[in-house]
Amino acid sequence: ALNPLLSTVGYAFAGLLSGSLLVENVMNYPGLGRLVYEAFIREDQFVVLGSVMVGCTLLVVGNLISDLALAWSDPRVRYGR
């Protein structure tokens, strides 16, 4: 039952950024989530675009790592030929 767990780990990396936005605003703690929120309110498009790019990069890297871990852990899963 390790395969579904490894498949969802990739999405957890991207969720870290969105979770920090909620926690930092509730706890009034300065960080990346609060920076993105204030940039969105102030319509600072470059900071918002950069945070979206970081989130997308985290999603792609997380999915790549989870796919590689899935192929390593389960010999039935093969990519390619």
Angstrom distances, CA of residue 51 to CA of 5, 8, 32, 59: 27, 22, 8, 12
Residue 79 pLDDT exceeds 90? no
pTM of the entire structure?
Answer: 0.73
Output the pLDDT for position 81.
64
Residues of the chain above pLDDT 90, percent: 17
Domain span at 52: 2-73
Mean pLDDT of 49-65: 89
**Which residues are CB-contacts of 73 (< 8 A; sequence separation ≥ 6)?**
2, 3, 6
Quote the number of domains for the chain. 1
Q: Is residue 80 part of a domain?
A: no
Mean pLDDT of 61-67: 88
Local structure of 14: helix, strand or coil: helix
What interhelical angle do 32-41 and 2-27 show, nearest 10? 60
Does residue 67 fall inside a structural domain?
yes
